[in-house]
Structure 1
Amino acid sequence: MPPQLLPASAAAFAPRASSVNVVLGSKVEPWLTQTLKRTSQIKRPLNSVPQHQRCLIETLSSTNAIWNLTSIMLPKAPDSELRKDSNPLTEAFSNFQLVHIEAYIVHVDMVLQNDIAFKLTPDSIEALIDYHEGIHCVDIAASTYNWLEKELQVKKLHEEFIQAINKFVYRTNAIALEGLEADRAGELLHGKSEEVKNKIMNLFHPLLPPLQRS
């Protein structure tokens, strides 16, 4: 079955919608009822599908409903500027930072695909774009020889990354909603954060110079 189309709020550069698109089936899974009862700030009856749907929409549409998808250890500066130290621990603390990648839910489908879709927050997108431009592009340029269109190629890679990270949507099984917390924030469980990290890091492409003629 092909993936279901996502709402307009999932598109690249689209702002966050005021309401999350939630589609539930004719029967609600017990784990979802338990999750909503555990995290709902207002005690309410959850005896029907519409009641679950309203509660879930309200919870996920809150501005506080920001999920920590993963955390990525990234260098603070280009390789040529990193501090060298005889103590590996000191060197690591000086040169690397843990960047938390946050997102919000744009879509819940528990009928066709039984999945949910996350879109990165503007702050996370901006942090990754800044890293790509100021560190990743500098490093890949420094590690390759010079050729006529090298600077244009680096610029093109960065522009492609901007598009890709803004288009990035992470889809996973709806059971991930179990990661909801009482403050309406959430965290991915079952090792899914590693999957997100790998998908994001795969967007950082190498610079491929033309083959040198002998």
Structure 2
Amino acid sequence: MPPQLLPASAAAFAPRASSVNVVLGSKIEPWLTQTLKRINRVKRPLNSVPQHQRCLTETLSSTNAIWTLASLMLPKYPDSELRTDSNTIVEAIPSYEFIFLEAYIVHVDMVLRNEVAFKLTPDTIEALIEHHKDVFLIDAKAASYDWPEKEQHAKKLHDGFVQAINKYVFRTHVSALEGLEEEGVGELLCGRSEEVKNSIMGLLNKPLLPPPPKIVDVIRQPPLLPSSPIGAIWSQTIHSPGVPTPVDSWRVLPSSPAVTSTSVDSNTPIWSSMTMHEIELPSPIPSYSQPYSSAGMFYSSPMVTSPIPALPLPSMLAAHCGINMGYGGFGWDRYQEYATTM
């Protein structure tokens, strides 16, 4: 893209230059020649590029060379002070006014960008600044809720508009010079006025917004490193999934039914004196753990059990066995009595 060349007179708060910067190409367009012949009362020779450039420069540099870019109908007073009437025409006449956006040409380029640049006149800039301060800003503050720094934000919004409207330069195609009239005055044609109107209204109607909520930084707990004391404490209580949790030796059930504990009566079943919370089943061993071994569960002293009682020998039982020995009080000596009754 070619560089955007603008003279110093197009800068913000810069005064109007005594001469307009005009750059023409090596070939003059026929429409420019016809326009210059139409606006000049005195016949001037237009047979070369320097003659066209001299004529156009003198015409646009005149103090009367003011262009009307567009017109805006804006309210004179804030909404709270506007007159209300059933007749819209009667209501609009005293309450609204027209502000004509007038400008002068600061740059004509028919070589690089084929454009013409307009800058608003000081009177137009002053009228827009007063409207923004006395009307728009009051309506904006009334339409928004109150917060501690509302006045400061309103002042900042107005200062931003002052800067923006002084920097505003309307740039359009060089064919806009077809609207040139005598003494350098002119009017934008082909719908270019709508572009100016939309641009100015966009600068005027910037809303007054409250500041965004402050973001509170969440302080997160730093991760525990293996070298920290807290991490060491937790590391001591964590058991490997391959090693079963150690249990007390007295809570382990005997592996043989013949072996009984010393604290359980021989006539009472072993399961009746044991509550549910005393029965602890080992947790299931993962498939990737080592083969199960009951030796790893006994790390304390060996379990104390009562000695196995001595069983009587067959020879000892033979001395007591006889015909008088029976079941339930019925001996073999009365077998004949039972047999005859049956």
* Short-chain TM bin: over 0.9
Distance 1:130 1:201 in 2: 14
Tell me: CA distance 1:3–1:90, structure 2 relative to 1, closer, same or farther (3 Å).
Answer: farther
Name the SS for the 1:202 alignment partner: helix
1:41: how far off?
Answer: 3.6
Q: CA deviation at 1:2?
A: 4.1
Q: For residue 145 of structure 1, give the secondary structure of its aligned residue in structure 2.
A: coil
Q: Which consecutive residues of structure 2, in runs of 5 or more, have no partner in the other structure? A: 215-342
Any residues of structure 2 matched to 1:44-83 within 5 Å, and which? 44-83=44-83
Shift of 1:3: 4.4
Per the TM alignment, residue 95 of structure 1 is displaced from its structure 2 partner at its CA by: 1.2
Indicate conservation of the 8 Å contact 2:76/2:97, yes or no: yes
**Secondary structure of the residue that 2:199 maps to in structure 1?**
helix
- Among all aligned residue pairs of Structure 1 and Structure 2, give the percentage whose two residues are the same amino acid: 69
Provide the rounded CA distance (Å) in 2 between the counterparts of 1:100 and 1:124: 7
Q: CA deviation at 1:57?
A: 0.2
Q: Distance in 2 between matches of 1:33 and 1:95?
A: 46
Q: Which runs of 5+ in 1 are unaligned?
A: none
Alignment partner, residue 101 of structure 2: 101
Matches of 2:119 and 2:41, distance apart in 1: 24
| Residue in 2 that maps onto 1:206 | 207
Q: CA deviation at 1:79?
A: 0.8
1:210 and 1:120 mapped to 2: Cα distance?
32
In 1, are the aligned partners of 2:2 and 2:113 still within 8 Å (CA)? no
Q: Secondary structure at the match of 2:182?
A: coil
Q: Which residue of 2 aligns with 1:152?
A: 152
Cα deviation 1:4-55 (Å, max 9, x = unaligned): 2200000000000000000000000000001000012432000101000000
SS at match of 2:42: coil
Cα offset, 1:190, TM superposition: 0.4
Q: Secondary structure at the match of 1:131?
A: helix
Paired residue for 1:88? 88
Cα RMSD between the aligned structures? Answer: 1.3
**Per-residue deviation, 1:210:** 3.9
Matched residue SS, 1:171: strand
Contact in 1 for aligned 2:59/2:183 (Cα 8 Å): no
Residue type matched to 1:96 in 2? Answer: Y
State the distance in 2 between where 1:47 and 1:80 align: 62
The CA distance in 1 between the partners of 2:105 and 2:7, in whole Å, is 11
The AA in structure 1 aligned to 2:7 is P
Q: Report which stretch shifted further, 2-11 or 193-202.
A: 2-11
Aligned to 2:16: 16
Aligned to 2:37: 37
Would the alpha carbon gap of residues 3 and 133 (structure 1) be closer, same or farther in structure 2, given more than 3 Å must change?
farther
Taking structure 1 as the reference length, the TM-score comes to 0.97
Q: Please give the per-residue CA displacement for 1:131-185, whole angstroms capped at 9, x wherever unaligned.
A: 0111111110110011000000000000000000000000000000011112321
What are the equivalent positions in structure 2 for 1:126-165 lying under 5 Å apart? 126-165=126-165
Instruction: Say which one has the larger Rg.
Output: 2
CA gap of 1:185–1:149, structure 2 versus 1, over 3 A, is same
Which residue of 2 is the match for residue 180 of structure 1? 180
Describe the superposition over 1:72-113 as per-residue Cα deviations: whole angstroms up to 9, x where unpaired: 010011111000000011111121111101000000000110
Partners in 1 of 2:184 and 2:22 — Cα distance? 16
> Greater strand share, 1 or 2?
1
